[in-house]
């Protein structure tokens, strides 16, 4: 019947050794009993199914997921998600929908140090269960015994800084715009201009990988020649992230093309490529990995379904992301500043000695966002990444890059940007054109 949960109540089992379990926290909503819903989730995602099956009892002790805690937080008069039992938008009825947070322990012996298999366990078929009218994975508590089996970032914050020789301020970066359509030489020309303006980091747009009109090998040759010229003129290094997203069996080949051509960073669209592909690349790479999260909001944006941004960020770091997109403070993306800062914390938190991933603030960024971003971050260990904020500057990419560096320098000296802009034309023009300075 609608909203019922079948199977046994097995939340009370032998005492747990936390080192053997991953604790997953979920938002759950149902028109049934929340504790029964949590039991059903634990059963469905480990040893059982919707009814008792032979042999399940013997498997539970070692392999069964178990409910740790259920906290009811309220009731609603209509479902948050449509199901065959409760179409979306149905009028309020006598039926109520209870919601709250459930903590469920999964023995990691079931899936081992494999992120695709971990996600199949903690975020698999449960999204299809019709009796759940909301289910979202909020967080994962990962024991050291599990984390020790992962490489984590090879370079991380410290390695990225060492390669660039920049240690005392946020890194200034940009995404090449227009996103697609430029040939290798056209792209290299604007990269050269931006590097002359003082950028520490430039990257391919996520839409540009290895197309026929701009093959990766040709782009590496053109861009690295341009960056070499810029470095001779400025004395400063600029790291460029080349997008190697492709079929899994070709990613490492593209990485080798980048490195053999003198490239200093690779980029992977890790959500579309998969966590397994990110880990494979991390175990092979000779340069930092810039992890871009496009397609990510399809899983995270709904408050009632999917995974939290924090979970994605944490798993990306574990898989080996050296530089990791975390949203944008006061940016154009959907996340609140508090959610962005949760992602930053996931990049920086102690995880059994894994290196820290460099947070990348990107999405509607320009010089006027530097003071607020630095203040809210609370530290300089991040990459301020602009697209239009550099390449859309009214005086061109070099001026756009200078405006970012000028904003960083002024903020490091506790100067207001409006004051610094009085004798720095690139910053003044950025403020006039993009419109606002945020503190």
- What is the set of domains in the chain, with CATH numbers? 18-147 (3.30.70.150), 156-434 (3.20.20.110)
Q: Phi and psi for 403 in degrees, rounded to 5? A: -65, -35
**What pTM, to 2 d.p., does this model score?**
0.92
For residue 263, give the nearest of 316, 326, 194, 191 by alpha carbon.
191
**Strand partners of residue 70:** 102
Gap between the Cα atoms of 307 and 305, Å rounded: 7
**Residue 64 has what pLDDT?**
87
Gap between the Cα atoms of 89 and 280, Å rounded: 44
Q: Angle 275-284/115-122 helices, nearest 10 degrees?
A: 160
**Cβ–Cβ under 8 Å, residues 61 and 20:** no
Query: What one-character DSSP code corresponds to residue 206?
Result: T
Q: Angle 216-234/184-196 helices, nearest 10 degrees?
A: 20
How would you list the strands of the sheet with 66-76, edge to edge?
Answer: 66-76, 97-107, 21-30, 132-141, 305-307
**Cβ–Cβ under 8 Å, residues 365 and 371:** no
Gap between the Cα atoms of 125 and 48, Å rounded: 12
**Residue tagged 């010089």 (tokens):** 367
Q: Phi and psi for 278 in degrees, rounded to 5? A: -60, -45
Q: Angle 248-260/275-284 helices, nearest 10 degrees?
A: 30
**Angle CA(313)–CA(246)–CA(356) in degrees, nearest 5?**
25
Gap between the Cα atoms of 262 and 237, Å rounded: 13
Q: Classify 351 as helix, strand or coil.
A: coil
**Residue tagged 């290196």 (tokens):** 355
For residue 193, give the nearest of 135, 233, 221 by alpha carbon.
233
Quote the tokens at residue 1.
Answer: 């019947």
Which string of b and e fits 255-292 if b means at least 16 CB within 10 Å?
Answer: bbbbbebebbbbbbbbbebbbbbbbbbbeebebbbbbb
Q: Is 245 exposed, middle or buried (0-12, 13-18, 19+ CB in 10 A)?
A: buried
Gap between the Cα atoms of 195 and 401, Å rounded: 8
Q: Angle 309-319/115-122 helices, nearest 10 degrees?
A: 160
Per-residue confidence in pLDDT tens, the chain, 439 aa: 344 444 434 344 445 688 999 999 999 999 999 999 999 999 888 876 656 666 556 667 778 899 999 999 999 988 999 887 666 655 556 578 999 999 999 999 999 999 999 999 999 988 988 889 999 999 999 999 999 999 899 999 999 999 999 999 999 999 999 999 999 999 999 999 999 999 999 999 999 999 999 999 999 999 999 999 999 999 999 999 999 999 999 999 999 999 999 999 999 999 999 999 999 999 999 999 999 999 989 999 999 999 999 999 999 999 999 999 999 998 899 999 999 999 999 999 999 999 999 999 999 999 999 999 999 999 999 999 999 999 999 999 999 999 999 999 999 999 999 999 999 999 999 999 998 899 9
**Residue 10 has what pLDDT?**
38
Gap between the Cα atoms of 131 and 2, Å rounded: 7
Could you tell me which residues come within 8 angstroms of residue 218 by beta carbon, excluding any fewer than 6 positions away?
A: 184
Gap between the Cα atoms of 32 and 363, Å rounded: 41
- Strands 201-203 vs 239-243: parallel, antiparallel or unpaired: parallel
Quote the tokens at residue 182.
Answer: 């430029």
Could you tell me which residues come within 8 angstroms of residue 134 by beta carbon, excluding any fewer than 6 positions away?
A: 27, 28, 29, 79, 80, 81, 99, 304, 305
Radius of gyration of the chain (CA): 24
Query: What one-character DSSP code corresponds to residue 422?
Result: G
């Amino acid at each position: 019947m609608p909203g019922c949960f079948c199977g046994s109540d097995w939340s009370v089992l032998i005492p747990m050794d936390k080192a053997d379990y991953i604790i997953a926290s979920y938002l759950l909503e149902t028109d049934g009993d929340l504790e029964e819903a949590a039991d059903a989730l634990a059963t469905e995602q480990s040893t059982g199914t919707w009814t008792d099956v032979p042999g399940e009892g013997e498997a539970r002790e070692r392999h069964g997921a178990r409910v740790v805690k259920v906290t009811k937080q309220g009731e609603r008069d209509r479902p948050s998600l449509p199901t065959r039992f409760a179409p979306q938008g149905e009028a309020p009825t006598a039926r109520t929908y209870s919601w709250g947070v459930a903590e469920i322990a999964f023995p990691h012996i079931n899936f081992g140090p494999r992120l695709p298999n971990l996600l199949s366990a903690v975020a698999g078929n449960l999204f299809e269960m019709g009796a759940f009218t909301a289910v979202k994975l909020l967080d994962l508590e990962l024991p050291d015994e599990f984390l020790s089996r992962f490489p984590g970032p090879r370079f991380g914050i410290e390695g990225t800084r060492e390669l660039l020789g920049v240690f005392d301020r946020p890194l200034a970066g940009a995404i090449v715009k227009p996103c697609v359509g430029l040939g290798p030489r056209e792209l290299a020309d604007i990269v050269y201009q931006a590097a002359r303006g003082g950028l520490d980091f430039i990257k391919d747009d996520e839409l540009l990988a290895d197309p026929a009109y701009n093959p990766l090998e040709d782009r590496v040759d053109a861009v690295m020649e341009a960056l070499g010229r810029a470095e001779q003129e400025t004395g400063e290094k600029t790291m460029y992230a080349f997008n190697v997203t492709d079929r899994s069996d070709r990613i490492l080949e593209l990485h080798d093309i980048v490195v053999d051509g003198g490239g200093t960073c690779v980029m992977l669209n890790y959500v579309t490529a998969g966590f397994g592909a990110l880990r494979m690349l991390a175990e092979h790479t000779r340069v930092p990995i810039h992890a871009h999260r496009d397609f990510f909001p399809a899983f995270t944006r709904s408050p009632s379904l999917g995974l939290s941004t924090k979970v994605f960020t944490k798993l990306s770091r574990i898989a080996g992301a050296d530089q990791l997109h975390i949203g944008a403070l006061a940016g154009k993306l959907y996340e609140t500043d508090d959610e962005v800062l949760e992602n930053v914390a996931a990049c920086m938190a102690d995880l059994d000695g894994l290196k820290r991933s460099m947070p990348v603030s990107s999405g509607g960024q320009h010089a006027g966002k530097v003071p607020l971003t630095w203040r809210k971050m609370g530290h300089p260990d991040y990459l301020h990444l602009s697209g239009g904020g550099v390449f859309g500057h009214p005086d061109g990419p070099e001026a756009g890059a200078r405006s970012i560096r000028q904003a960083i320098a002024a903020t490091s000296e506790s100067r207001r940007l409006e004051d610094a802009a009085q004798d720095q034309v690139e910053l003044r023009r950025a403020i006039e054109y993009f419109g606002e300075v945020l503190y």
